[in-house]
Structure 1
Amino acid sequence: MSLTLLHVLITCIVVLLTAVAYLFWRRMNYWRERGIPHDKPSYLYGSFRGLSKSYGFSEILRSMYQRYKGTGPFCGYYFFQRPAAMILDMGLVKNILMKDFSNFSDRGLFYNEQDDPLTGHLFFVDSSKWHVLHGKLSPTFSEYKVRGMFPLMCNGAQQLVQTLDALVQRNVNVEVKELMGRYATDVIGKCALGIECNSLKNPNAECRAIGRRIFTDRRHSPLVSGLIEGFPKLARKLRMAVIHEDIANFFVRLVRENMEYREKHNVRGNDLMNLMMELNKSKKLRYDENDEFKGLTVEEMTAQAFFFFAAGSEKSSSTLSGALYELARQSEIQERLRSEIIETLCQHDNELTYECLHEMKYMKQVLSETLRKYPVLPHLVRQALLDYPVPDHPEYVIPAGVLVTIPVIGIHYDPEIYPDPEKFDPERFTPENVKMRERIGWLPFGDGPRKCIGFRFAEMEMRTALVYLLKNFKFSVSELTKSTSINLRGDTFLKVERI
């Protein structure tokens, strides 16, 4: 290589690196140039310096919300390298989720249906695909359908009692978080996919092992994961994937074997799998030349099965373990709830029915307060499709393409909305107190058109479990019980005694 050619090559590399550095610098000064309050970002981790080392994601969001609330309708931050707006005003939250939803219908998160098919599910996809999927899948979790799943939930709760009985006989200290995960895995497997997971009978069952790995085994480091979310379009062009291949293969096999068995034996069920098979009318493209829906492909079915299995097994179990932890710490609340359960059952010949489950008003208060302290998601994410001037704040504009974050954890721990927010107090959710607050101040399942479609299922699953557990067992803290902060981390050991 001649010196001249080498000089040209070096010059090109320097120019390229300089251009990249400049574009990166501009990106990381996005909010400063617009005069929006924000923390000085780290060039690698954005506003999440210390994540996983000193602080969890929830703690960072909550701290940011508390520091900037009152400075304006939103503050700026950086989701790793991606500029994002954190909403601080409740009126603006309501506009984004409901009134002006058409401009914030997308989440703007990474998904790659071509190279990572399981990411093409209802939670991640945007635009017309979300609208079609939402409309087609929502009937699975209508009140009528969920009511039909109630007997299956009761069977799961009965198995939960038997499993806990056996554990208590060996040791009064029980790790309830994993136990609730096994219960939730069995319930979502049976009710949504029509499969027997047998996690309560066998803690090492394949479904449960995969369910644990979905949230613990990351394909990439936190930094690489942050870069993927920071540059989702580029990540798609680079054919990046975030779900482990063996996890994807498990769900592909699960769906295909389920379909083959049902078709061979003419099996129909009151579940998500049955609905998706009905939508699987064509193996061609989802849309024809007139942009009309033609049916779910097997890959799309698998993505939905993955999402509902993951969300149904993890989120409900986290809420249940949070409820048991709080009830163990406050025996008077536990006793009041147990009394309501026993009294209601007595009025129904000691039989748990769908109707009497909804007569337990204090149960609803306890779960509402649990979901306040331990929300299903610490934040909601949307993306502005067009520039959005904030009403009554002309100097504030949410630019098109910017990630919008609604800090659920900040709102739920805001002392102006919930005085003494660290305290677990079901009285916050008496009908009188609920009427005194903005509805938008409680967002465990989101709100508006993109509210979680499985909220009825999750609430009934948790209520059913608590009825069976508190009717048969007493929970209290022990020397193995660890203190908690915003989210329960690690094992949750409680002392359990048979009643």
Structure 2
Amino acid sequence: MGGQQSAPIPATHTLGKIYLKHRFTYWARHGVKGPNYVSVRALRQKFVDISSEKSRKYGRLYGSYMFTNKWLTINEPELIRDIAVKDFHTFPNKYDMNYGKTYITSSLFLMKGDHNWRRVRSVVTPAFTTGKLISMMASIEGIADQFVVTLNTFAKNGETIDMCKYFSAFAMDVISACAYGINVESINNPNHPIVVNAKKILSVNSNLNYAVSALLPPIARLLRLEPFNTNAIKFFDSLVKDIVNERKISTNEGKKRLDFIQLMIDSERHDRNFDSNNKNKKVIQNSAENSNKKTIKSLSDTELTAQGFTFFIAGYDTTSASLSHVVYYLSQNKDKQQILREELNALDTD
């Protein structure tokens, strides 16, 4: 036994060093500035602070590493525009992340750039035309008016309030109305099921499952981690299905709501009417290669739920944070308040 020798460990060590050196010199080999290492200190910093620090050090375009993943950060507006528009066909997919078994991967913003993505995009895009957005303004204005009444009450009493908290409630109310046609009034109903479950999904900062899913997707999938609260996901899934079923059997056109779900239902009805009015369906099928091709534009219940929840992901925190910053800077620059009043009064047609 004493004559036996084992060499796998040194060999494995050497191969590991070669692999890591090759991996962490990727950007340098391609002439891109950036660190050639993974900073353990960065794991304790805020992402925005890390990005700002690296931008100052390496410029507007730099390469970095998150574990063994390669990241290219771009802060050039024109280049970003080209990537997102002109050269979109080359960059169709988002950053890989583990989303578990939830329906959220059916969201337009998270789907892979294949034919399913194109189909969903063709259905969802018309909902964001100027005319459709204007049709939702009545709901938004009603919520805004109520919001002003609430703020006036605090102002008359001379109370100091957390504006971020109330802007969050305002954003929640607007999104709930525009996406689902539901009047939540979260300022007065903080325990409303939509408010409670939306916050469960959006509050992921301290969620270890989410961190592993975002930074180490393969390991997260291997461990079958769920980055989002599954009970909250199920709530929204059930909510959308109930709303869709209720509206599909409704025949009262006079009380039709003007929200995202209704626009999707109307789109589906339009396509079904198109099909029922064309007796020779073979003609439609055979025209798949010409410009008269008619694609069935409808979403499954799962896809519809995912698109609706995208409103929360994309609009909740961004809206409340933006409005909070606006009022903060206005409070610090009182000379600009009168200018803003005059501009708003000029737009007021009532």
Query: Could you tell me which of 293, 307, 311 is aligned with 1:308?
Result: 311
Query: Could you tell me which of 52, 58, 73 is aligned with 1:62?
Result: 52
Output the CA distance in 2 between the equivalents of 1:156 and 1:329.
27
Q: Which runs of 5+ in 1 are unaligned?
A: 283-287, 352-499
| TM-score computed with the length of structure 2 as normaliser | 0.78
Output the CA distance in 2 between the equivalents of 1:25 and 1:231.
20
Compared CA separation, residues 266 and 234, structure 1 to 2 (3 A): farther
2:278 corresponds in structure 1 to none
Q: Deviations over 1:250-273 (max 9, x none)?
A: 211211221232234346332210
1:360 corresponds in structure 2 to none
Compared CA separation, residues 25 and 130, structure 1 to 2 (3 A): farther
Larger Rg: 2
Counterparts of 1:23-34 in structure 2, within 5 Å, are 23=19, 26-34=22-30
Counterparts of 1:188-199 in structure 2, within 5 Å, are 188-199=175-186
Q: Which has the higher helix share?
A: 2
Compared CA separation, residues 217 and 145, structure 1 to 2 (3 A): same
Amino acid at match of 1:85: L
CA contact 1:108–1:126 (8 Å) conserved in 2: no
CA contact 1:219–1:244 (8 Å) conserved in 2: no
Counterparts of 1:128-207 in structure 2, within 5 Å, are 128=114, 129-169=116-156, 171-207=158-194
Output the CA distance in 2 between the equivalents of 1:88 and 1:246.
38
SS at match of 2:65: strand
2:42 corresponds in structure 1 to 50
2:33 corresponds in structure 1 to 37
Q: Which runs of 5+ in 2 are unaligned?
A: 272-284, 289-294
> 1:145: how far off?
0.8
CA contact 1:97–1:104 (8 Å) conserved in 2: yes
Compared CA separation, residues 38 and 194, structure 1 to 2 (3 A): same
1:108 corresponds in structure 2 to 95
CA contact 2:330–2:337 (8 Å) conserved in 1: yes
Compared CA separation, residues 293 and 66, structure 1 to 2 (3 A): farther
Counterparts of 1:15-414 in structure 2, within 5 Å, are 23=19, 26-42=22-38, 49-51=41-43, 53=44, 55-69=45-59, 74-87=61-74, 89-110=76-97, 112=99, 115-128=101-114, 129-169=116-156, 171-218=158-205, 220-221=207-208, 225-232=210-217, 235-236=220-221, 239-266=224-251, 268-278=256-266, 295-345=298-348, 348=349, 351=350
Output the CA distance in 2 between the equivalents of 1:303 and 1:193.
12
SS at match of 2:161: strand
Amino acid at match of 1:273: I
Work out the percentage of aligned pairs sharing the same amino acid.
25
Output the CA distance in 2 between the equivalents of 1:21 and 1:251.
48
CA contact 2:98–2:220 (8 Å) conserved in 1: no
Output the CA distance in 1 between the equivalents of 2:77 and 2:313.
30
Compared CA separation, residues 15 and 321, structure 1 to 2 (3 A): same
CA contact 1:219–1:243 (8 Å) conserved in 2: no
CA contact 2:244–2:265 (8 Å) conserved in 1: yes
Compared CA separation, residues 61 and 191, structure 1 to 2 (3 A): same
> 1:65: how far off?
1.6
Output the CA distance in 2 between the equivalents of 1:241 and 1:278.
34
CA contact 1:189–1:197 (8 Å) conserved in 2: yes
Output the CA distance in 2 between the equivalents of 1:75 and 1:12.
37
Amino acid at match of 1:173: T
Compared CA separation, residues 89 and 344, structure 1 to 2 (3 A): closer
Q: Deviations over 1:172-203 (max 9, x none)?
A: 21111110111111111112211121212223
Higher relative contact order (CA 8 A, sep 6+): 1
CA contact 1:180–1:320 (8 Å) conserved in 2: yes
CA contact 1:111–1:124 (8 Å) conserved in 2: no
Amino acid at match of 2:118: H
Amino acid at match of 1:259: V
> 1:338: how far off?
0.8
> 1:278: how far off?
4.3
CA contact 1:163–1:201 (8 Å) conserved in 2: no
Amino acid at match of 1:36: V
